[in-house]
């Protein structure tokens, strides 16, 4: 691949870049090995009869997902989405325009599933599903982070993420899977988390954290695992268990529970909030991963399920867990009732850790020394899946307000980035959707461009030196790409890292 990875120059004006056709044609993630594929029930390698099978799979998905069917029909090629994708802005490759990315599948849909495409393919831009087209799918559907920013601006509500997910499902079904997500999903099924951290190692890590916090604060803050009878089951992204800065947020959650006197536990069976089944568009994989949380909740007898700082995990938890695993309310079938009768209906199920902390703050159950964060000038990066695919609290937009409320409750210096780059218009960090892998670093650095421009602006004008986020992928991605833009890697951190710094232990109640 490219010799040296360099950040593109920041733009003077936030307008669509000039196009460089083929700029990212050689950016491809590693293909999953046959063992990884077979672990998920997919064919080990590209099948000899992949073409008819891929078309059959497309037909199946068109019958199962209204989104796919409507979105492939409804596009008018107006171009409203064209300049909205961070990967197009950063790479200048025209196939990274959302509409062009959709057309990679739409052209095949027209050729094989519509009358005009069968009769007049050239007229309507219809193409056979050839090996070249399949390779283009693999290249460019693996340059979409499924962040949904294009969908915000589409007059027809078309969400490219739905099409990317369908393409990945089709490719998996014919044996052309992507290594990074598929390997991780297999680890979750086998061990319970994305990192492959087994139960004893997890217990060991948590003991170490208890000692660290004791050394630092003199307080016995517990990090319980597999404790039956706890009120709260906390499910966090497994990066929280050891990676910096993620672990600082885990310490923050533990301190919140400690200060509020809530009995909580982690689970070694469901030690992962992340759900990469979403990234590959597989309902079955996503459900299987979510069921581990259900099983852990039933086994431990908890009353509440709380989710840590992880963007796509919160999308899956908030929007899909009720559907996939009966974690929520309003279910009236035996499967849902079994769990829902156990969970406490006075709380939202599941609850985001920011919702929990903000509720406690409002009730006066926590106290803070805000000046402990005075060395930080904080801004907040809205993570795409939280911003555009979930909510918090009781009113639309709570997913924007609640994390900000928590930050302002624990820190004195808070600054917003430009409005066209925050809230529902936020830019992806550049590595969501299963793209947080080393071989895609060039793409990731380029995809971070719009966020880095907005950060540069507030860093220069207000001296911002801390960008808080509530997503493990955002934290890992920024930690890797910030230096390419002349920032310190340690500038990124979690909201509960700020909470951890300011919270007063042992004074509540």
Partner 1 sequence: MTTATLLFALLFHFAAAVLAVGLAYRIASYARTPVPLKIPSTPAPATRGGVVLRLLREVTLFESLFKGSLWLWAFAWLFHLGTALVLVRHLRYFTEPVWGWVAFLGSFGTAGSLAMTAGLVALWLRRPLLPPVRTISTPSDHLMLALLLAIALSGLAMKHAVHTDVAGVKSFFLGLMTFSWKPLPADPLLWLHLGLVAALMIVFPFSKLLHAPGVFFAPTRNQADDPREVRHLAAWAARLDA
Query: Which parts of 408-437 interact with partner 1 (CB under 8 A)?
Result: 424-425
| 414 strand-pairing partners | 378
Measured CA to CA in angstroms, residue 24 lies from 134, 268, 380, 410, 418 at distances of 16, 40, 30, 42, 28
395 Cβ contact partners less than 8 Å away, ≥ 6 residues apart: none
309 near partner 1, judged by CB under 8 A? no
Q: Please report, for the chain, how many H helices and E strands are present, in that order.
A: 24, 7
Nearer to partner 1, 167 or 387 (CB): 387
**Shortest distance, CB of residue 388 to partner 1, whole angstroms?**
6
* Residue from 145, 182, 285, 349 binding partner 1 (CB under 8 A): 349
Query: Which of these segments, 48-56, 91-99, 189-197, 477-485, binds partner 1 (CB under 8 A)?
Result: 91-99
Q: Is 402 in the site for partner 1 (CB under 8 A)?
A: no
Quick count: other Cβ atoms within 10 Å of Cβ 4? 5
Nearer to partner 1, 36 or 150 (CB): 150
Distance CA 299, CA 332 (A): 21
Question: In this structure, what DSSP letter does residue 16 have?
Answer: P
Tell the smallest beta-carbon distance from residue 57 to partner 1 (Å).
15
Tell me the closest approach of the beta carbon of residue 17 to partner 1, in angstroms.
10
Q: How are strands ordered across the β-sheet holding 378-380? A: 378-380, 466-469, 492-494
Spatial separation of the C-alpha atoms in residues 267 and 235, rounded to whole Å: 7
Of 128 and 207, nearer to partner 1 (C-beta) is 128
By CB under 8 A, which span of 135-143, 318-326, 457-465, 494-502 interacts with partner 1? 318-326
Using the rule CB under 8 A, is 333 a contact of partner 1? Answer: yes
Of 439, 332, 465, nearest to 28 by C-alpha is 439
Supply the Cα-derived Rg of the chain in whole angstroms: 23
CA distance 66 to 58: 13
- The span from the CA of 496 to the CA of 500, in Å, is 6
Q: Which is nearer to partner 1, 95 or 186 (CB)?
A: 95
390: left (phi over 0), alpha (psi -120 to 50) or beta: beta
Strand ranges (E), 267-369: 304-307, 351-352
Among 184-192, 222-230, 238-246, 348-356, which window interacts with partner 1 (CB under 8 A)? 348-356
We find the least distance from the C-beta atom of residue 156 to partner 1, in angstroms, to be: 5
Under the binding rule (CB under 8 A), the answer on residue 18 touching partner 1 is yes
Closest approach, Cβ 101 to partner 1, in A, equals 10
Q: Which is nearer to partner 1, 300 or 387 (CB)?
A: 387
Smallest gap, in angstroms, from Cβ of residue 67 to partner 1?
5
Looking at the Cβ atoms of 80 and 201, the one nearer to partner 1 is: 80
Q: From 394, 395, 414, select the one nearest 404 (Cα to Cα).
A: 414
Site for partner 1 in 467-496 (CB under 8 A): none
Q: Which of residues 127-166 bind partner 1 (CB under 8 A)?
A: 148, 151-159, 162
Q: Which of residues 29-68 bind partner 1 (CB under 8 A)?
A: 62-67
Tell me the site size for partner 1, rule CB under 8 A: 78
- 132-170 as b/e, with b when 16 or more CB fall inside 10 Å? ebbebbbbbbbbbbbbbbbbbebeeebbbbbbbbbbbbb
Q: Give the C-alpha separation, 131 to 111, whole Å.
A: 15
Which of left, alpha, beta for 226 (phi over 0: left; psi -120 to 50: alpha)?
A: left
Q: What's the longest Cα–Cα distance across the chain?
A: 76
Q: Which is nearer to partner 1, 69 or 189 (CB)?
A: 69
Q: Which of residues 159 and 172 has its CB atom nearest to partner 1 in the complex?
A: 159
- Rule CB under 8 A: choose which of 57, 246, 312, 348 binds partner 1: 348
Smallest distance, Å, CB 71 to partner 1?
7
Please identify, using beta-carbon distances, which residue of 295 and 424 lies nearer to partner 1: 424
- Cβ 254 to partner 1 shortest distance, Å: 25
Please provide the size of the chain in residues.
Answer: 509
**Nearer Cβ to partner 1, position 2 or 74?**
74
What is d(CA 22, CA 237) in angstroms, rounded to the nearest whole number? 35
Report 361-380 residues binding partner 1 (CB under 8 A). Answer: none
Closest to 462 (Cα-Cα) out of 411, 498, 414, 410 = 414
The answer to whether 345 contacts partner 1 (rule: CB under 8 A) is no
* Long-range contacts of the stretch 78-81 (C-beta < 8 A, 24+): 78/155, 80/153, 80/154, 80/155, 81/150, 81/153, 81/154, 81/158, 81/160
Query: What residues from 237 to 296 belong to the interface with partner 1 (CB under 8 A)?
Result: 283-284, 287
Which residues is 178 bridged to in the sheet? 31
Closest to partner 1 by CB, 298 vs 329, is 329
SS3 call for 46: coil
- Find the shortest distance in angstroms from Cβ 434 to partner 1: 18
Which CB atom, from 155 or from 229, has the smaller least distance to partner 1?
Answer: 155
Residue 120 Cβ vs partner 1, minimum distance, rounded to whole Å: 8
Quick note: the x/- pattern for partner 1 over 69-88, rule CB under 8 A, is xxx-xxxxxxxxxxxx----
């Amino acid at each position: 691949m490219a010799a040296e990875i360099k950040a593109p120059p920041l733009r003077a004006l936030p307008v669509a870049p000039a196009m460089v056709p083929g700029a990212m044609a050689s950016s491809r993630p590693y293909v999953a090995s046959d063992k990884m594929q077979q672990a998920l029930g997919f064919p080990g390698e590209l099948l000899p009869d992949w073409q008819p099978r891929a078309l059959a799979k497309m037909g199946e998905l068109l019958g199962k997902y209204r989104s796919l069917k409507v979105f492939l029909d409804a596009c008018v090629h107006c171009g409203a989405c064209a300049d909205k994708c961070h990967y197009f802005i950063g790479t200048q490759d025209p196939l990274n325009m959302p509409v062009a990315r959709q057309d990679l599948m739409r052209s095949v849909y027209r050729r094989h599933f519509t009358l005009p495409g069968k009769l007049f393919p050239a007229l309507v831009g219809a193409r056979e599903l050839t090996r070249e087209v399949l390779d283009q799918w693999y290249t460019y559907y693996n340059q979409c982070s499924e962040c949904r920013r294009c969908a915000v601006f589409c007059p027809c509500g078309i969400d490219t993420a739905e099409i990317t997910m369908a393409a990945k499902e089709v490719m998996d079904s014919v044996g052309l899977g992507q290594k990074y997500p598929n390997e991780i999903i297999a680890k979750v099924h086998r061990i319970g988390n994305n990192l492959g951290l087994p139960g004893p190692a997890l217990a060991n890590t948590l003991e170490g954290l208890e000692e660290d916090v004791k050394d630092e604060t003199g307080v016995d803050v517990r990090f319980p695992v597999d404790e039956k009878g706890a009120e709260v089951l906390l499910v966090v992204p497994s990066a929280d268990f050891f990676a910096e800065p993620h672990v600082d947020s885990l310490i923050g959650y533990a301190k919140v529970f400690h200060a509020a006197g809530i009995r909580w536990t982690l689970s070694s069976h469901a030690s992962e909030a992340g759900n990469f089944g979403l990234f590959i568009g597989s309902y079955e994989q996503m459900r299987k991963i979510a069921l581990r949380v259900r099983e852990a909740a039933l086994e431990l007898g908890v009353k509440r399920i709380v989710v840590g700082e992880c963007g796509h995990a919160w999308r899956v938890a908030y929007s899909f867990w009720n559907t996939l695993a009966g974690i929520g309310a309003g279910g009236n079938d035996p499967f849902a009732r079994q769990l829902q009768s156990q969970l406490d209906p006075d709380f939202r199920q599941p609850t985001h850790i920011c919702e929990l902390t903000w509720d406690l703050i409002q009730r006066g159950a926590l106290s803070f020394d805000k000046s402990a964060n005075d060395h930080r000038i904080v801004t907040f990066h809205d993570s795409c899946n939280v911003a555009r695919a979930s909510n918090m609290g009781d009113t639309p937009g709570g997913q924007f307000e609640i994390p900000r409320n928590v930050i302002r409750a624990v820190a004195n210096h808070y600054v917003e980035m430009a409005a066209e780059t925050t809230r529902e218009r936020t830019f992806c960090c550049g590595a969501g959707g299963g793209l947080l892998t080393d071989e895609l670093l060039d793409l990731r650095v380029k995809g971070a461009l719009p966020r880095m421009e907005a950060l540069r602006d507030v860093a220069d004008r207000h001296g911002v030196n801390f960008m808080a986020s509530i997503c493990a992928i955002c934290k890992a991605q920024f930690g890797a790409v910030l230096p390419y833009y002349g920032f310190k890697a340690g500038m990124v951190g979690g909201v509960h890292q700020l909470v951890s710094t300011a919270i007063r232990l042992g004074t509540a109640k």
